[in-house]
Structure 1
Amino acid sequence: IINSGNHLSDFITSAGATIANAIVNGTVEFGKLLTGASDWDSYVAASNENWRNAVSDLSGEWNTFTNSITA
């Protein structure tokens, strides 16, 4: 049970960092759009890639967590 708690804590920490990074990256891309450093299409493409990568990372982190508690 203690190991499961540690693994859950690791997952929450990793997931939180992944989500925070996605938000920061999205904000940077939005800033580029507002300042004219990118256009709408570039903004949408970068945002989609950013969130797609975040979901992929979260999936991997979840798999690591579930594998660690079943081992």
Structure 2
Amino acid sequence: MSKKKQQSGSLGDQLNADVLSKLQSKKSELKQQAVEREEQEKKRRMEERKRREANKSFEELLNESDLDWKSFKK
């Protein structure tokens, strides 16, 4: 019966503290890597958007503008 009680414990109880701490460390490391990847992707998208803006022609910029020549005409 004492064997059943030992087996019925939680997984955390069954693993030794060293293995558990290694798993928690790996989990936090993977989370940090995911955050860094997301930041790099965001930075890459911003740079790509700036590059596209810099390469636009005057006509494209004018077409995207909210200005209307009729509002300046009196």
- TM-score, scaled relative to structure 2: 0.47
Q: State the structure with more CA Rg.
A: 2
